[in-house]
Structure 1
Amino acid sequence: MNTPSANNTPSVAGSLQGRAIVVTGAGTGLGRAYAIAAGAAGARVLVNDIDAEAAQATATSIGDAAIAVAGSVSSWDDAARVIGACVESFGAIDGLVNNAGVLHAGPAWEDNETAIRRIVEVNVLGTMFCGVHALRAMIPRGSGSIVNIVSGAMLGIPHLSTYGATKGAIASLTWGWAVDTEGTGVRVNALSPVARTEMVNAWSLSDRTNDNNPDPDVIAPAAVYLLGDQSSGLHGQILRFNGRVVGLLSPPRVEVTSGERADWTVDGIASAVDAELADRLPGIGRGAAMPNSLI
């Protein structure tokens, strides 16, 4: 696995030369940084955002090799139009960064139907819609790279249970798509970034401040890496990057007891868990599955 250089801003020039890349939610924040970095790496970039002016501003920053297409990824038709525009304009789609998303913060018991539906429609359905349309274009060509964006919130962060659930769904989707695309030439991975963004600024805890996070452009090389050939050995993986340390988030695994029997009882299950599994119970909550350097 390649790791960033000491200054966290490795050169990416030419690593995506001539490739056609779609970045959703690229009007601001991390999406904008991913799109600009892809352009700097030589890619032709389709910049998508629900905000047409923001999308165009990002495309203008990239230059003549970029176009802007506004639309909501939560719409099946808009998602098809975005992917189709990439194929029509550039002749193919070589990469997709499924970045578009919204954040909803607050205790689970204060959620309401409107808030839950909106975050699921954008974060989950939007990723699925764009990914399905992209896969339909990539599979026949036998090549392509999809990069889904997930979050450490899927491991449990206070007041982000609904948001975390959507990102957990995308982690599972990443693993599922990787199984489906095995042997097709298409790779599917995910990036779990930590960055200073307006979205993070809308949510804060006493022990975590947005000011401690790196700027989005520091994180962007990780997306370029996953899109390009340097990550050709990665498939169905989740890369965690906070601008200082690179890590891989492993898929969940099942811990089993040593004995197999057909007459399990409540007491028997309790005894087996206490005797063999208690010391292997995974932690729950913020950072439970990550070293402190990656939180």
Structure 2
Amino acid sequence: MTYLDGKAVVVTGAGRGLGEAFATHLAEAGAGILVNDVDAAAARRTAAAIRAAGHPAVASAHSVSDPEQAQAIVDLCVDTYGQIDGLVNNAGLNYEALSWEDDPGRARELIEVNVLGTLYTGLAAMRAMKNRGGGSIVNISSGASLGQRTLATYSASKGAVASLTYSWALDLEAVGIRVNAVCPLAHTRMVRSSERALRKCPPDRTPDRIAPLVVFLIGDRSVGITGQMIRCTGPQLHIIGQPYLKSPILERDNWDSETIERAFAEVFQAHLEPYGLEKRMPPRLRDWLTPATA
């Protein structure tokens, strides 16, 4: 018996890259796979490769950004395998742009896929899983959700995915559905289109090095793990901490602009947070630090 025998899993954006690796590894672990990608030829190619290796797979070219088509993805999985036990919300878009040059139409398309696509497919899957008594949802987020240069829209979309993960985990724990997010760093087509990403992600960090984490989170051996953001870069595996309310917490009956200014000058200036994935320090705080403490 293999890791995922008897389970049926939907993987969106599975025509290539990370999604293809996730679908392939899940199939090798024993799951029946619904391979979804708006590129119909790519979806069929991945599904055919899985079947050629002796595992069940069916292709879907539905768009996750349309709620009816997202429902159709889940319905096809249930019609094919009689159930849905897992969903990997991987479909996504990315592009780089200076924030003041960002194109509204392109930004809207990205949000529709990355955020609404995750939402629509997740809602359809959780309704089916609830009726069955449980399941596992793995959302694909990104370390970019902490903030990254020239990726504001993409970063915002992945921040939304992180928030969905936390909220869904709270709502669904009572019905036996676990929800986690994976933040991968792998050499994919998205990375190859970015000189900056290429410097951080050498070619040996292939999607196959991320896929075992997804297999684990879909499987029953990860029971009890929910609401987590897990980053995997190939060599590194770690948990991303949730935002928190930071001390000190100042309190008074009424705040005005002068007392708020004094609070920052006298207290909060020493507690300002570095921001972005690169942990940039706020300019005023950097100016106050001596070379020995910077």
Same fold (TM over 0.5): yes
Deviation, structure 1 residue 110: 1.0
What is the aligned partner in structure 2 of residue 46 from structure 1? 34
Letter matched to residue 255 of structure 2: W
Aligned counterpart in structure 2 of residue 83 of structure 1, from 74, 92, 95? 74
What is the aligned partner in structure 2 of residue 162 from structure 1? 153
Aligned counterpart in structure 1 of residue 256 of structure 2, from 253, 265, 285? 265
Is the Cα–Cα contact under 8 Å of residues 237 and 248 in structure 1 kept in the other structure? yes
What is the aligned partner in structure 1 of residue 12 from structure 2? 24
1:35 maps onto 2:9 in alignment:
no
How far apart, CA to CA, are the structure 2 residues paired with 1:207 and 1:51? 25
Deviation, structure 1 residue 155: 1.2
Aligned counterpart in structure 1 of residue 242 of structure 2, from 235, 251, 263? 251
How far apart, CA to CA, are the structure 1 residues paired with 2:25 and 2:8? 13
Deviation, structure 1 residue 29: 0.1
How far apart, CA to CA, are the structure 1 residues paired with 2:197 and 2:92? 24
1:280–1:227 Cα change, 3 Å:
farther
How far apart, CA to CA, are the structure 1 residues paired with 2:14 and 2:144? 21
How far apart, CA to CA, are the structure 1 residues paired with 2:198 and 2:77? 42
Q: State the SS of the aligned residue for 1:97.
A: strand
If the length of structure 1 is used for normalisation, what is the TM-score?
0.89
Deviation, structure 1 residue 212: 5.4
What is the aligned partner in structure 1 of residue 274 from structure 2? 283
TM alignment of 1:228-243, pairs within 5 A: 228-243=219-234
Q: State the SS of the aligned residue for 1:147.
A: strand
| Percent identity (aligned) | 45
Gaps of 5+ in 2: 281-294
Letter matched to residue 133 of structure 1: A
TM alignment of 1:86-101, pairs within 5 A: 86-101=77-92
How far apart, CA to CA, are the structure 2 residues paired with 1:258 and 1:252? 15
Count of matched residue positions in the alignment of Structure 1 and Structure 2: 277
| 1:164-211 residue CA offsets vs partner (Å, 9 max, x unmatched) | 110011101111111111211001110000000001111222882543
Name the Cα RMSD after superposition.
1.8
If the length of structure 2 is used for normalisation, what is the TM-score?
0.89
Deviation, structure 1 residue 285: 2.1
How far apart, CA to CA, are the structure 1 residues paired with 2:278 and 2:221? 28
Gaps of 5+ in 1: 1-12, 290-295
Q: State the SS of the aligned residue for 2:268.
A: helix
| 1:11-43 residue CA offsets vs partner (Å, 9 max, x unmatched) | xx8221110000000000000000000001110
1:206–1:132 Cα change, 3 Å:
closer
Deviation, structure 1 residue 259: 4.4
Letter matched to residue 248 of structure 1: I
1:55 maps onto 2:43 in alignment:
yes
What is the aligned partner in structure 2 of residue 4 from structure 1? none
How far apart, CA to CA, are the structure 1 residues paired with 2:146 and 2:187? 20
How far apart, CA to CA, are the structure 1 residues paired with 2:201 and 2:247? 40
